[in-house]
Chain A
C-alpha cells in the first residue's frame, strides 16, 4: 500500500519532505497516477500538493504575471488576466487533454513532467518564462528552458518544488499564436506544436520574433536562426517559407507511434506559414 500525505501548508510540506525524501510529489494525478497504474513507478509514499494555498493563484504586477504552479489548467483558462496578457498560453491550454484533465492537471505538473509534448511548454518558452523553485532553505529562480533538462528530467533538486511561473508581458502589439497538430481534436498528444510571439513595426516588418516547437526534439526547441531570419522582414508566405526551411533543418524529431520524423519535420516548418494566413493575430 502506498502512503499518501496531504500537507495543507508549506511548513507541513517541508517537514514531510524532510522525513520522506524519496516521496513522489503530485498535484492533479493525471500523469503520475497513470504511470503508477502502468507499473512504471511504484512509490511507497506520495505527497499530494493540491491543498497548499501558497501554490495557487494568479497575480499580476507591472512586469507581468505570476502563475501558481498549483493552478489547474482550467483555472488558468478561465483567468481573465491570463487571457488578456498571455493569449498564447490560453490557446495552448484549450488544446491540452480534455476538460476533466484540464480541471485536474496543473501547470506545475505539466512542466515537471517535462515531456517535449507538454502543451504549456512552447508558449512559456517563447515568453522566456522563469520558474520559482522553493525549498525549506529558500527560493531560486531559473529560466524555464534551463529548468527542463530533457525528456522527463528537470533541474529540481531533492527537497525542492516548483512553486510558480513568472512571465513578463509581451511587448504591446505582439502577435501571439499557438497551434498543435494532433490526430484528433481532443484528448490528443501533440505530433508537432508551435508557439509564436512576433512583434512587428507599423510597416509590418518583424521587430522581434520567438518560436518554440513541441514534440520535435528531446525538449521544446527554439531556433535562433529562424528568429533572426525574420527580423526586418514582412510576414509573407515567401519569407515564412524560407524560415520554414531553416526550422526543418534545426528540429530533431523522432519516429514514434503517432507520426514519423519526416512528417514532424515537414510540418514543423509548415506551421510557420500559418502566421501569414491573416497577417494579424490568428485567433483560434
Chain B
C-alpha cells in the first residue's frame, strides 16, 4: 500500500511547482500556442443551423411590422422569428430589464434586432437576412446627452430619458469655496469606446434529448445568463446549462446578454438541432455594448498650502438605448469622481441618460476611466494655478489607509497610492524628466505627464459579491478545479491553478482546470469588476485548505498512523514524515468515494460597515471598500506639423496587493495601458444620428505593435489582508491612467491640452497652432 520515497520525483521536469509569487507559465498557454484551445467560436456541432439577427437599421422608429415571407420562402431557411414568437417577457438586462430580445414595436437603436433567421448555411442566412424587411416609421431621435435631457425631448422609455440621477456629497460645499486659494474648472468630453476583443460574440445552443437547453457561449457571466434567458423566454433557469470556454477577449463586452437569448430562442424552434450564431465584426460593433460616452463638468478648489478642499462636479453618461449597467457605471464614476485624494467637501452629481446611440455597457474601468480624465486634468490645472509640482501636489493629497475618501468612506483596507507615487518619484524616468523636452528633435515638442488613479473592486454594497469554489481529487490522483468564473484572457484560471498548487503542494501537471459549466460548478458571479481572482480565489483557498485537511485525515487512516500531524502533501503523494512512507494520491483517491474527494467552499467579499449618508439613489453598488491604486508616467512627443502624438516611454506603478504571479501581473498592466493608450490616442466611435460610421477595424482603430511603447510595470509591496494570499484585483486600474497621464504630458509639451478625447492629430495641431503656448508649461 505504501512506497518508499527513494524513486525519482514524479512529474516531468518541465512541469513546474505552482508556487505563489513565482512567474510560472500560464496554464492555458500550451493549448493556445498549438491552436488546440477550443473557444466557443470553434464549436461546430454536427447538423448545425446558422442563426442571424436582422438589425433595424434606424436609430429610432416605430416598428409597424416585419415582412418575413420572402426570407422564409428561400430554400434552406428553416425559420424566421419575430417578437411574436418570443415566449416570456422578451426583456433582458442585468439590472434593469428594458432590452427586448426581438423588438416588438419600438426601435431604440440602429442595431436593435427585429427578426431572427435560421438557415442551413451561412450564405443562405446572409441572403435571407437581406430579404427580411422591417416596416419602420422614423421617429425623432436623441443623439447626445444634452438633447436627451431637454424637457421636450422624445423619450425612449416609459420613465423618461434619465435612467438614474444621483448625488454623493460630503462636508459642506456651500461654504467651502470661500477659503480656497485656487479654484480651477473644466468641462471634458469623452467618446464611446469599443472593447475590440478579437473573438466576436458567438455561441452554440441546443435542446438536449432530456429537455435541457445547453449553450456554449463566449460569456463573462454563465450563471447569470441562465436567469437572463429564463426571464426573457419564460423558461426554468435550472433547465438551462451554460458552458463558458476560454474567451478570445471580452473586457466587459461579454457581460450581459449578447447572443444568449437569441440563440436560446432559436434552439427552441428547431426540434433539438444545434444552432450556431457568430456576429461578424461589423455586427459585433453595431449591436455590442460600449464604454459610455461622457461629459464631465468639474470645479475643484484648494487651500493655499495645496490641500484639496472643495469639489463640485457633474458627470453625465450616455447609456445609449438600454440600461445595461448604465446606473452602475455612473455610480462608479461618481464614487471615483474626486480621485484618489482626500477632499473634505464634495458635491458630485451624476446622470445616466438614455439616447438612441449604441448601448453603453460594461467595459474595463467602467465609469472610472472617464472620471479619471476629469479629476486628473483638474489636479494638473490646480498645480499650475498654485505653482506647484504636479507630482508633489498629488503626493500631498493622496489617500492613505484610515482616511475618508471623497465619497466619505473610511479606507480600512490596503491603500498603496502613496507608495506608488513615492516609487514613481524615485524612478529615473521621473528624475530625468527635464531632459526629455530639452532633447526634442526639430519640429517636435515633448512632454512628460503623470497621473494617479484608482479603481474599486467588487460589486459594492447591496449585491453580495460571493463565489463558491469546487476542487476535487480525481481518481488518478490529480486535482480538478471547477472554475465558476470565466477566463476571458486575464489569467484567473492560471491563478486558480497556482493557488491550488501552492496549498496542495502540487506541480502544474497535477492541476486540471475546467472552465465554467453551470452543470458542474457553483454560482460565483461574473468575470468582472476586478473581483474574479479575488472572490473565487478566496473561496478556492478555503476549499483547498479544507481538502488538504481532509486528505491528510483520510491518509492517516490508510497509513495506520494515529493522527495526521506528521503527514504532508507532496507532489503526487502524501508522505508520513516521521517514517518517510509515501501514499500515492492515486492510491488514496481509489479508496475514497467521489463525494469524499470533493471540497466546496464559499467566500463573500467584505462590504463597508460605514454607510455614508449620501448616494441614496444607489440601491446597489455604493459604496465600495476595496481599491487598487496606480501612478502612471508618460513621455510623449508631438509633431508640430501634423499634430501626431507618439507615446515614447511609459511607466505604471501599481498597488494590487501581493503579486501572485509577477509575469501575469505585468500582462494585465501592460495590456490595460495599451488599451488606455488607444482610448487616449485614436479610439472613438464615430456616430451620425445613432449610426456607427466606423463599425470595423479599418476605421475603428486599435493600437498596433507600432503604437504602444515598451511599458515598465512596477508593483508596490502592499498586502491586502482580505485577499487570497494578500492580492487585490488589478484588471481595471491600469486602463484609467493613460489618458490623464498622456494629457498631462501634452499640456507639458504644448502648454495646453484638448478637453475632448481622443487626442487626435486634428485636435493637437490646433493646439500647436494656437498662440502663447509654452510659457506656463508645467515641468
> Which residues from chain A sit less than 8 Å from chain B, CB to CB?
98, 181, 183-189, 191-192, 257-260, 263, 266-267, 270-271, 273-274, 277-278
Contacts and interface: CB of A to CB of B under 8 A. Distances in A.
A33 to B, nearest CB: 13
B84 interface: no
Nearest to B699: A257
Contact of B641 (A188, A191, A274, A278): A274
B703 interface: yes
Contacts of B760: 183
Given A181-B644, A273-B641, A274-B641, A267 B765 contact: yes
Contact of A186 (B644, B697, B705): B705
B248 interface: no
B701 interface: yes
Nearest to A37: B280
B283 to A, nearest CB: 13
Contacts of B644: 181
B704 A186 contact: yes
Given A186-B704, A186-B706, A263 B442 contact: no
Given A259-B762, A270-B642, A271-B641, A185 B704 contact: yes
Interface string B422-463: 000000000000000000001100000000000000000000
21 contacts: A181-B644, A181-B761, A184-B682, A184-B704, A184-B706, A185-B706, A186-B705, A257-B686, A257-B693, A257-B694, A258-B699, A259-B761, A260-B762, A263-B761, A263-B765, A267-B761, A271-B642, A274-B443, A274-B641, A277-B443, A278-B442
B698 interface: yes
A189 B642 contact: no
Nearest to A270: B641
Contacts of A98: 704
Contacts of B697: 187
A183 B701 contact: yes
Interface of B: 442-443, 641-644, 681-682, 686, 693-694, 697-699, 701, 703-707, 760-762, 765, 769
Given A270-B642, A271-B642, A274-B443, A191 B761 contact: yes
A278 B697 CA distance: 36
A126 to B, nearest CB: 19
B442 A277 contact: yes
Contact of B761 (A183, A185, A278): A183
Contacts of A187: 697, 701, 704
A270 B724 CA distance: 56
A93 B437 CA distance: 31
A250 B703 CA distance: 33
Contacts of A189: 698
A278 B441 CA distance: 10
B638 to A, nearest CB: 13
Contacts, number: 60
Contacts of B682: 183-184
A191 B703 CA distance: 17
A242 to B, nearest CB: 16
Contacts of A183: 682, 701, 760-761
A135 to B, nearest CB: 33
A181 to B, nearest CB: 5
Contacts of A184: 681-682, 701, 703-704, 706-707
A277 B641 CA distance: 11
Pick the 8 closest A-B CB pairs, nearest first: A185-B706, A270-B641, A186-B704, A263-B762, A181-B642, A186-B706, A184-B707, A183-B682
Contacts of A277: 442-443
A187 B678 CA distance: 14
A257 B761 CA distance: 13
A260 B762 CA distance: 8
Contacts of A258: 699
Nearest to B705: A186
A133 to B, nearest CB: 30
Nearest to B762: A263
Contacts of A185: 704, 706-707
A98 B706 CA distance: 11
Contacts of A191: 761
A267 B640 CA distance: 10
Contacts of A181: 642, 644, 761
A267 to B, nearest CB: 5
Given A183-B701, A184-B703, A186-B705, 14 more contacts: A98-B704, A183-B682, A184-B701, A184-B704, A184-B706, A185-B706, A185-B707, A187-B697, A259-B762, A263-B761, A266-B765, A270-B642, A271-B641, A271-B642
Contacts of A260: 762
Nearest to A98: B704
B91 to A, nearest CB: 33
A187 B686 CA distance: 18
Contacts of B701: 183-184, 187-188
A38 to B, nearest CB: 9
User: Which interface residue of A184, A257, A258, A273 has the most chain B CB atoms within 10 A?
Assistant: A184
A264 B644 CA distance: 13
Contacts of B769: 266
A267 B642 contact: yes
Contacts of B643: 263, 267
Nearest to B282: A38
A257 B769 CA distance: 22
B398 to A, nearest CB: 34
Nearest to A272: B641
| Residue among B642, B706, B769 facing the most chain A CB atoms (10 A cut-off) | B642
Nearest to B678: A184
A263 B763 CA distance: 9
Contacts of B443: 273-274, 277
B760 to A, nearest CB: 7
A198 B443 CA distance: 20
